[in-house]
Amino acid sequence: MPSTSVLLVEDETIIAMELEQTLQDLGHLVVARVTTGEAAIEAAARHNPELVLMDIRLAGRLSGVEAAAVILSRRRLPLIFLTAYSDDLSLQSAKNLDACGFLLKPVNHSELHVSIEIALHKFAAEKALLDQQEWLTETLRSLTEGVICTDRKGATTLINARAEALTGRRASEATGRDAAELFPIVRFLPSANSGHPVLQALETGKPVFDNPLSLVPTGPKPLPLKSTAAPVLSAGGDLLGAVWTLEDLSAEYAADRRLQLNRSNDLCQRSTQLLRNLEVLQSELLGPLNEDQVMVLDMLRDDTGTLHLDADRLRLCLQLEEEGELLALPQDVPRVLSGVAASLRPLLGHKQLVPRLALPTGPGPFIEVNEDLLFHLLTSLTEGLIEQATPGTTFDLACTADLEKVTISLEVTTANDTRKLHDQFNSSATLPLPNLQEHELPSGDHFALARHFGTYLDLLPRLETTGPNTLAAIVELPRLSASR
């Protein structure tokens, strides 16, 4: 057996001398022999022994158990307790320190030899296990993907640092809780997967792939995520749990939008140049066009205008990306509408309007839309409506949903002719929007601005008369479903 450096702590001189001699006979090196707990702590720090033999009862201020606790708190190493009484009152306290062995004095040669062998082997095995656990922990921490592990019932057992950042949940609050309830998801696109990825993996015993999806946000903004959930099986095929990985796709989405913008700009330039060439050809060579030629030229102008609008949408999308936003992500409608109502409260108070909210409770319904654009759309609609509102009446902000769509309604009572408001709304122009910064937004007609944001969101708000002198602005969006 290789030589082991030993710190011997025994306050009975004769027993200490016998133990030291036995240790030397076994081929070990006694680096220090001390009689008190205080001296043991100092010797352990000075000599860095590979093993400690510690008497439980020591003379002095510190007992052997107390000295061992200090030594082990500073450095992990194998420790064997010595005691003269099998029913020593301090024995239970010593067990709590997870010592590698206990010897009853007097100690014979063979007992000491076996105890040291077992203690060193046990410590080496525990150290190897701890080193492996530390390696796994550090590996998980260094991964760029979020990793969430569960047991066979779906309870969270591990969540790495990246998953904490993606989910907004700390490991301390996630451990032991049901992963499907703690991390509900919203799928971007129709999918054959209907349930929560973790539950599906546990139930089917097969990997579940989703790309893309989003977690129902616990923070201010959701993210597009690549999701893979897989069952964890033992060597015998028994289900042990599941591992769920999440990868942020924001950078890929931004790169895709930049590519789309480059292509869109190229189409715009080609279409614009073609239109100019035709106009020059018409004015300088062909003279007046017939009816069919005029129609073709008008169609080309319309197509060119559409191409420019698509390019503007993509350009706005990239601007939002640089500001940390994404154009189309799952949003919790009640959360968005509550923010709209809070921002409008001072203006409603100034107009002496009483705000009333009728919103669903709990998370959802969910829509796929840029939150900032929807916010500007709804606030612009509201400002256009309350300019005509009668002081002292109510302002209702409501949300309803069916299986396919979410309907947002903004309703006020007005003293003015509702037909004029309809005409004003329907005749509102939409102009290019250069920037989302508040001070750079177009001013003037709120309805024009609302229709403008609707154009960028690819939806058109409408006005309805819901009662005598009562107008409602209606916005409808496709609904997403959340999986738990």
Q: Exposed, middle or buried: residue 302 (CB in 10 Å: 0-12, 13-18, 19+)?
A: exposed
Tokens of 7: 């710190």
CA distances (Å), 339 to each of 90, 372, 377, 395, in order? 62, 11, 13, 15
Tokens of 148: 């969430």
Distance CA 207, CA 242 (A): 9
Widest distance between CA atoms in the chain: 125
Tokens of 214: 């989003």
pLDDT of residue 189: 58
Cα 380 to chain centroid distance, Å, stands at 31
Phi, psi of 206 (to 5 degrees): -130, 155
Look at the domain 5-139 and name its fold. Rossmann fold (3.40.50)
Distance CA 49, CA 94 (A): 20
With a cut of 50, which residues of the chain have pLDDT below it? 324-327, 429-443, 484
Beta-ladder partners of 33: 8
Distance CA 464, CA 96 (A): 74
Q: At the top level of CATH, which class does the domain 329-483 belong to?
A: alpha beta
pLDDT of residue 53: 93
Q: Which residues contact 264 (CB under 8 A, 6 or more apart)?
A: 307, 310, 311, 314
pLDDT of residue 295: 74
The structural architecture, per CATH, of the domain 144-248 is 2-Layer Sandwich (3.30)
**Domain definitions of the chain by residue range:** 5-139, 144-248, 252-322, 329-483
Q: Which residues contact 423 (CB under 8 A, 6 or more apart)?
A: none
Residue with tokens 């829509």: 367
